[in-house]
Structure 1
Amino acid sequence: MKIVRWLAGFAAAASLLAAIPVTAQPYPNKPIRLIVPFAAGSASDILARMIGEPLSQALGQPIIVDNKPGNNTTVGTELVATAPPDGYTLGLLTNSGLAASPGGLTSGVRYDPVKDLSYITLVASVNYVWLVNNDVDAKTAPELIKLIKANPGKYNYASGNTGGIAYGGYLKNAHKLDVTHVPYKSTPQALADLISGHVQLMVADVPASLSMIRSGKVRPVGVPAPQRYVLLPDVPTFAELGLPTPPNMDGWWALVAPAGTPDAILDRLNKEVVKILKADAIKAKLLQSSFMPTPSTRQQATQYQKDQLQVWKTMIKDLDLKVE
C-alpha cells in the first residue's frame, strides 16, 4: 500500500510539474551567425565586423561572420532566406541581392526578397561618382559628354560592381553615348586600368575610389545625386551641372533575418543596431571608411527594399542591363 501511495503521490507531482509552463530561455542564448555575401576583406566584410563587435557586446553572445560570396550575392542571400527563423542566422545583405538581382540583373534567383526575408534595419550606404583618366580632356560631366559625342567609338567605360553597371548604362543610354562597356570582376581592378588609361571612364563607388581621387590619380567630373556628398564636398552634382539626376542606384546594406522570425527578436535587434549606428564613435569609424550610416525603423527598411526593387526592375528593363 505504501508503494501504491508513493506512486500516486509521484504521479500527482509529475502532473503538477507538467502543468507549469516552461519558460523559454531569453534571446540570445548561443552564438549568432551573420552571413555576408562577399569574400573576406570586402567592404561588406569590413562593415560586418565594425558592427558585429559592438552588437556581440550588447547581446552577450558571439557574432560569427560567415562569408558566402557567389552569383552576384544571391548565394548568401538565399542562405539567409532559407534558414530557420529563430534569430540565430542573420544577413548583412546588399542592394545586389535584395533589389538588383531579383529585379532581373542576375539569373537563377530562387528566393523572393519581399516574402522570404524580414528587414531589421538599414545599416549603411555608399555613393557613386563619375571618374575619368587624367589624360581625358574634360573637367566636368557636361564637358565629358560633349567630348564623347565629338569622338564616337573612341572611349571605353569600366564597371566593377552592380552600381557601376547600372549608372554607366544609364549615362550611356540617357545621353546616347557611343562608348564601349568593359566589365571587370572587381572595382580595384577596374580603377587600376582607369589610372593606366586602358579605359578612360568609370562610375565607381566612393569607398573604393576616394583615396585615388584625393591623391589625384583619377579625376571626378560629377556625382549622380541630388546633394553633394559629405566625402566629396567639392564635386558638383549632375543637377548643378545642368544634367538630369539618375534614379538612386547607390549601394546599401540592410540587416535581415528569415521571414517568420519573431517580432520580439527583430525589435531587440533593431534597437541594439540602431543604437550602435548612432553612437558617435561608430559613426566616425564608418565615415572614415566611406560608409554613410543609415539607421532606420523596421518599417522604413522594409519599404526602402520594396522601393529599390521597383527602381532596379525599371532600370534593368529600360537599359537592358545584365551581369556580364
Structure 2
Amino acid sequence: MRSVLLAATLLAVVSTPSFAQPYPAKPVRIIVGYAPGGGNDVIARLIAKKFQEETGQPFVVENKVGADTIVATSYVAKSEADGHTLLVTGMGGFTITPTIYGDRVTYDPLKDFIAVGTVARFAYVLAVNTSIKAKTTADLIAYAKANPDKINYGDAAPPTRLATEIFAKQSGIVVHRVPYKGSAASAQALLANDVQMVISDATALIAHQGGGAIDILAVTSRDRLKMMPNIPALAETPSLANFDFDAWVGLFAPAGTNPAIVTRLNEMIKKIVGQSDARDLLTKIGAEALTDTPEQAFERVKRDTTQNSLAAKALNLSAN
C-alpha cells in the first residue's frame, strides 16, 4: 500500500504544471512590432513596468519594427518557450497581416503562440489636416467626392488601413494610401500635410488637437470615448450608421510555454488593469481594460482572424 501511495504522489507531482525554477528566473524581453510612441508601445511599456514591480525582475521592451509586425512576431515564434521572451501585439499583427502578406508569413498565430491574455481594446480616431477645411465627417465625405484625387491617407498599420478602406468603401469616396512605420510617423505626415487624412490611435494625435494643424473629426467605435466626449462616433453620421471598428492589444508567448507561467502572467495582467493609474493611462490613449482568460483571448483571436481576413480579401488588400 505504501508503494502505491508513493507512486500516486509522484505521478501527481509530475503531472501538475509547475515551474522548474522560480519565474521569472532572469530578465524578460517583451518584443513589440510597432514603433515607439503608439498605443501598442505605450501598453507594452505599462506591462513591463508593472511586471517588473510585481516580480523584481527586469522586463525590457524591444521594438522590432518591420513588415507590419512580421519581423517581431516571427522572432518570438522561434524563441525558446520558457516565458522569458514574450510578444505584445495588436489585432492587426495576428488577424490581418497574415492575409495581406500571404506566403511571406511563416508563422500561424493560432498554432505557434499561446494567448496569455488581451490587455486592452481601443478605438481609432479619424483626423484631417485643416487645409481641407472639414469640420465634420460629412464635410470630409463631401470634399472627397468633389476632389477624388486630392486625399492621401497615412497607413500606420494593418488595422488602421483596414478601418480606412472600410470607411472609404461605405462613404463612396476615393482615398490614396501612403504607408508609414507607425502611428507617430503618420501623425507627423498629417501635421505636415504630406497626407490629408488618417485613421489612427489617439495617442499620436490628441496632443495636436486644437493646435491649428489638424482636426479630429470622429472616433471609430460605436460609442464616444470617455477621453474625448465631444468627438462624435463615425456611426453618428447617417451614411455610416453601422460603422463600428475597434482593436485590441494582447500578450502572447511561444507555443509550448509552461501553463503555470501563462497563468501567472495572466493573473498579473488582471491585477495591473485593475489599478487606477493603469486605467487612467489606458483612458488617456482611448483604451479600456480587458480581463480575458487565456482561453477567451484565444477565441477572440480566432474570431477576429476569420472576420478580418474576409474583410481584407473583399477589399483586395495586399502588401504591395
Q: TM-score, normalised by structure 1?
A: 0.83
1:310 aligns with 2:279: no
Alpha-carbon offset, residue 312 of structure 1: 1.8
**CA deviation vs aligned residue, 1:42-62 (integer Å, no higher than 9, x gap):** 544433222212212323422
Alpha-carbon offset, residue 305 of structure 1: 1.0
1:245 to 242, 249, 254: 242
Structure 1 residues 257 and 215 mapped into 2: Cα distance closer, same or farther (>3 Å)? same
Residue 275 (structure 1) aligns with: 271
SS in 2 for 1:78: helix
Taking the aligned partners of 1:146 and 1:76, their CA distance within structure 2 comes to 40
Equivalent residue runs for 1:283-294 within 5 Å: 283-294=279-290
Taking the aligned partners of 1:153 and 1:49, their CA distance within structure 2 comes to 39
2:26 to 26, 30, 53: 30
1:175 aligns with 2:180: no
Structure 1 residues 288 and 25 mapped into 2: Cα distance closer, same or farther (>3 Å)? same
Equivalent residue runs for 1:113-192 within 5 Å: 113-192=109-188
Residue 263 (structure 1) aligns with: 259
Residue 199 (structure 1) aligns with: 195
**CA deviation vs aligned residue, 1:174-216 (integer Å, no higher than 9, x gap):** 2331333333334334333433434322222211111112434
SS in 2 for 1:34: strand
Equivalent residue runs for 1:211-226 within 5 Å: 211-226=207-222
Residue 62 (structure 1) aligns with: 58
Taking the aligned partners of 2:60 and 2:301, their CA distance within structure 1 comes to 25
**Greater CA drift, 254-263 or 281-290:** 281-290
Is the Cα contact below 8 Å between 2:31 and 2:88 reproduced in 1?
yes
Structure 1 residues 293 and 138 mapped into 2: Cα distance closer, same or farther (>3 Å)? same
Task: Give % identity.
Answer: 33
Alignment length (residue pairs): 304
What letter matches 2:230 in structure 1?
Answer: D
Alpha-carbon offset, residue 65 of structure 1: 2.6
Structure 1 unaligned regions, length at least 5:
1-18
1:50 to 46, 49, 61: 46
1:99 to 90, 95, 100: 95
1:300 aligns with 2:300: no
Alpha-carbon offset, residue 251 of structure 1: 4.0
Q: TM-score, normalised by structure 2?
A: 0.84
Alpha-carbon offset, residue 256 of structure 1: 0.8
SS in 2 for 1:124: strand
Taking the aligned partners of 1:140 and 1:273, their CA distance within structure 2 comes to 38
What letter matches 1:200 in structure 2?
Answer: Q
Structure 2 unaligned regions, length at least 5:
1-9
Residue 4 (structure 2) aligns with: none
Alpha-carbon offset, residue 91 of structure 1: 1.4
Structure 1 residues 193 and 74 mapped into 2: Cα distance closer, same or farther (>3 Å)? closer
Is the Cα contact below 8 Å between 2:153 and 2:177 reproduced in 1?
yes
SS in 1 for 2:115: strand
Is the Cα contact below 8 Å between 2:94 and 2:301 reproduced in 1?
yes
Taking the aligned partners of 2:124 and 2:93, their CA distance within structure 1 comes to 18
Alpha-carbon offset, residue 39 of structure 1: 4.5
Equivalent residue runs for 1:10-25 within 5 Å: 24-25=20-21
**Greater CA drift, 272-281 or 24-33:** 24-33
Is the Cα contact below 8 Å between 1:224 and 1:245 reproduced in 2?
no
Taking the aligned partners of 1:152 and 1:39, their CA distance within structure 2 comes to 31
What letter matches 1:300 in structure 2?
Answer: Q
Alpha-carbon offset, residue 279 of structure 1: 0.8
Residue 6 (structure 2) aligns with: none
**CA deviation vs aligned residue, 1:148-178 (integer Å, no higher than 9, x gap):** 2233333333323323311221122223313
What letter matches 2:142 in structure 1?
Answer: K
**CA deviation vs aligned residue, 1:95-119 (integer Å, no higher than 9, x gap):** 2321111233465111100011111
**CA deviation vs aligned residue, 1:130-158 (integer Å, no higher than 9, x gap):** 22222324322123212322333333333
Taking the aligned partners of 1:28 and 1:192, their CA distance within structure 2 comes to 39
Taking the aligned partners of 1:178 and 1:65, their CA distance within structure 2 comes to 38
